[in-house]
Amino acid sequence: MTDRPVRAPRHRPEAGYARGEETRRRIIDVALRLFAERGFEGASTREIAKQAGVNAPALQYYFDNKEGVYQACAQHIADSAHEHFGPAVERAEAVLERADASSEELFEAFGALLDAIAEHQLLPDDAEHRRLFMAQEQVGQGPNLVFQMMDENLRPRMARVTTQLVSRYSGIDLKDPTLSMRIMMMMGQLMVFSLGRRMQLAKLGWERFGPKEVATIKQAAREQCRVLMDFWRLPKKSDAG
């Protein structure tokens, strides 16, 4: 599948049709869930329209065809990510602009990014469907759109600021080939909760990942990253001569 070109929808929400933006958003919400569960080929426009409570002409009015619906879902995911992560990225960039930023300021900026990832993966009602939608793309079961959209700005910015924050805090050279790997491992500690949501909830004795539970996860993740990053700052025996 499926790097097929996808046309932008012919109609815009401001054109108005059967309650306008509310109807359009409802279609996107249903389509995102069905694409996540069934992949691009497995989700039909007929089923999307049925579950969204609209007829086929209404869906075509807003999105033209299935490719247009899929593109709208991908854009919704990308826009949501930009809105969610933007403030933390901007704060990190502001800290990095200062040569005199303290270690605590550097770590706090990194911690804010870590918090944002945890919240984005676990708190929104559609977090699981967004993750599955993106996973479908990664295995070739949908047009490669979400990552293309995010790679235009957000992901490179996040990677750059995260790498610079960890480098400056820990003293690891930016050219060190292990730096990116270490960052991926630190960020990856949060994936266990979103990938195995039901199993992890059962193990922890939690009913859901609500604000209280996610706050506990964020605190533990920060503490583990602090331990690692402080260890990397320690002089190594070889350095001591």
pLDDT in tens, 136-182: 888 887 788 998 999 888 999 999 999 999 999 999 999 999 999 99
Average pLDDT over residues 76-93: 94
Q: Which pLDDT score is estimated for 237?
A: 58
Look at residues 60, 66, 65, 69 and name the one whose alpha carbon lies nearest to residue 28: 69
How far from chain centre, in Å, is Cα 108?
Answer: 20
Instruction: Provide the token pair at 20.
Output: 């306008």
Average pLDDT of the chain to the nearest whole number: 88
pTM surpassing 0.85?
no
Q: Is 169 exposed, middle or buried (0-12, 13-18, 19+ CB in 10 A)?
A: buried
Q: Which pLDDT score is estimated for 70?
A: 94
Q: Does domain 74-234 have CATH number 3.40.50.970?
A: no
What confidence category does residue 112 fall into, taking pLDDT thresholds of 50, 70 and 90?
very high
